[in-house]
């Protein structure tokens, strides 16, 4: 996207922010990357809340949370939990996995795509008001990631 176009879109978005009562778009029609943006925030918040009883030290919570919400760990959770998804959830995961986005240096392409799929599902579950299922999915992911982090690695 060219910088001038970006500036125009940003100004339009800021103008819309001033309007009250604007309805959310249909989550089923949203760009998977937008769903992933929301899902990333939701899962990060969930992980930090789950870690509050673990330590009163911000650095400890932040360090563990950063590792837990990394693309590598989300990908591991997605691979374990994928078999338990409903048909509709699997379709959302497929959309997220196939979405075009940039790949960071900290993860492989396949890990990043699986993590994007994970975040897309979290965002979709939140925006479709499936709080109970979202909580269940995030707790399962938290447990998978916790076990993974406790296993000795040769990395």
Q: Would residue 40 show up in a list of annotated catalytic residues for this protein?
A: yes
Catalytic pick among 26, 40, 129, 154: 40
Helices (H), the chain: 3-17, 32-51, 58-68, 71-81, 87-98, 109-127, 131-150
Instruction: Cite the active site residues.
Output: 40
């Amino acid at each position: 996207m060219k910088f001038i176009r970006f500036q125009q879109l940003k100004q339009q978005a800021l103008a819309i922010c001033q309007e009250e009562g604007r309805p959310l778009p249909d989550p089923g029609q949203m760009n998977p990357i937008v769903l992933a943006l929301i899902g990333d925030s939701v899962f990060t918040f969930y992980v930090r809340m789950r870690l509050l009883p673990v330590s009163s030290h911000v650095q400890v919570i932040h360090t563990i949370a950063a590792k837990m919400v990394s693309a590598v760990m989300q990908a591991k959770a997605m691979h374990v939990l994928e078999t338990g998804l409903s048909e509709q959830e699997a379709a959302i995961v497929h959309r997220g996995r196939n979405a075009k986005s940039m790949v960071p240096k900290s993860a492989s392409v396949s890990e990043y795509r699986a993590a994007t799929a994970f975040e897309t599902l979290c965002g979709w579950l939140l925006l479709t008001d499936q709080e109970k299922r979202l909580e269940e999915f995030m707790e399962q992911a938290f447990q998978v990631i916790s076990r993974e982090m406790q296993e000795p690695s040769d990395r």
